[in-house]
Every structure is written in C-alpha cells, then in structure tokens.
Amino acid sequence: MSRPQSDNLTLLRAFEVSGLSGRTALVLATWFGTGLVPVAPGTLGTLGAVPLVLLSRWLGGWSGLFFPLVVTITAIWASDRAGKILGRTDPPEVVMDEVAGFLVTMFLLPASLLNMAIGFVLFRFFDIVKPWPIRRAEGLRGGYGIVADDLLAGVYAHLCLRGILFFGS
C-alpha cells in the first residue's frame, strides 16, 4: 500500500514536481504562502482576505459580488488540486477557503475597522466551533468539502454581524 504523498514530499518538493497547474493551485490554495505558517494558518489566511475586502469596497459596483464568487470557485478548484497533490483531504496549509469564507462574512457590509474585527472574530469562532450544519459540510468530497464549511461559517458570521449592526445602531 502506498503512503500519501505528504509523507514522502515536503510542500516545497510537491511544488517543485508539480506542473504549472499544480503550482498555481498550491500558490492559490496557500493564499500566496500565508497558509505555510506553523501556528494558526487559518487565522493568517483569514487576515489575508482583508486586502480583497478593502479592494472590493474601493472598486465598488459589482466587485462586492464578483470577488466572493470568483474566489469561491477558484478555492474549490485550488483546494481540491492541492489536497490531491499533498495526499490529504483538508491540508492545514490550504487557507484559500478561509479567504472565501471571510469574503462571505463581509459581503456588502461596510469595511470599517470595527466591522472587519468583529467579522473576523465571528468567522473564526464559527469556523473553529462548526455548529450544525457546518461540520456536516466538511463531509462533501474534495474541494467542495474543504470550502463549504468555511462558506457556511461565513454565512453565520455575516448574519451575526448584520444583527449586531442592526441592533447596535
């Protein structure tokens, strides 16, 4: 029985032996390397979404819808491909799912420092605790399972943040 590639290859080695498609998937899935930190890569990956939130607000218009949609579709592909390259179903280095989830959290909300801080805490809470049905979403196959739980955590965080903004004003 062969062992998973992750036992045989480091991430760097996996990057070296992957073709262009594999390298692209690894770079995107690790969100340009933010997922490579040894402690709390998901937290850093979530922070890596902040520039996209700010850019989408600066661009205005359809970018508030376009960014989450494109990042989610790309995250499903990149996460699935990276998982296969690394030989694991949900590698901790893969953090593009957190980026997609945080974009859902901040979907069409004002990108103030306070809103992003509250959204960040709420998103990380739901992503870690995984209340129903978030944990079940992890059971989906491939990139869908990697990304779906973060999207649902983003929805929960978004609704809570909307409630805070509604009742807090």
What are the tens digits of pLDDT across the range 134-163? 888 887 888 999 999 999 999 999 999 999
**Residue 14 pLDDT exceeds 90:** no
CA–CA separation, 161 and 96 (whole Å): 22
What's the half-sphere exposure (Cβ side, CA atoms, 13 Å) at 68? Answer: 18
pLDDT at residue 12 in the model: 67
Which two three-digit tokens encode residue 84? 């296969």
Phi, psi of 81 (to 5 degrees): -65, -45
State how far the Cα of 130 lies from the Cα of 145, in Å rounded to an integer.
13
Q: What angle do CA 167, 118, 165 make, to 5 degrees?
A: 20
Q: Which residue has the tokens 């491909």?
A: 81
DSSP code, position 54: H
Its pTM surpasses 0.85: yes
Provide the token pair at 65: 């819808």
Start-to-end Cα distance in the chain? 60
Whether residue 5 is predicted with pLDDT greater than 50 in this model: the reply is: no
